Amino acid sequence: MDNTPLSDALALRAMAFAFDAQRGKLPVPGDPHRSPDVVTVARQISELGKLVTDLGDEVLFRAADQNQAPHTARVITNFAAVVEPAGEAASALGAVAHQLAFLNQTESLRDQPDARDAREAAVRVIEEALATADAALHDRANSLYAASATASPPSARLQAARSRSATTARSPGPPPPNVTAAVAAPSARIARGR
């Protein structure tokens, strides 16, 4: 594995895609195809654990490199910064699994008033925890996509195209009209008309 700006940008983008993929697997209460169940949630917690391990490996690989490139510290920071949100998403899913287990255990008591209140509270906890996991995964995926765009400098062709378009946009032309005079004139006419 090489440690070039392009390979780092691709690694950041791949990790962003992994965060998006995990977000796409989140259960959706009320959706018959993505309804939360303990097994699915536990599987996703395990996958998030692997994602945290992958993040740690990305940081370790770059930190242990004796010949770090100038951009390496920034890439290490970007990978390290998303460990906590990945853990936050896994923790939120842990809360979902806990509440789902409670709902399974109290299924036979659902008609009793006390159990009904507790079960409704469990559903609210599940919804909030899923929203937390969704936000953590979404925000970190976006930050990784942005980091991947800045990790690899633009190609020489792209830089040349940008410089040509910037030069064309700045070509001399007629001076812009005097905006303040144009704005002041109508208001002066309105004032005289009264």
| pLDDT in 10s for each residue of the chain, 194 residues | 567 888 999 999 999 999 999 999 999 888 888 888 999 999 999 999 999 999 999 999 999 988 888 889 999 999 999 999 999 999 999 999 999 999 999 999 888 888 899 999 999 999 999 999 999 999 999 999 999 988 865 555 545 555 665 544 444 445 545 544 444 444 444 444 44
CB 71 within 8 A of CB 4: no
* pLDDT given at position 154: 55
* pLDDT given at position 192: 44
| Structural domains of the chain ordered from first start | 5-166 (1.20.120)
* pLDDT given at position 162: 54
Model-wide pTM > 0.95: no
* pLDDT given at position 1: 54
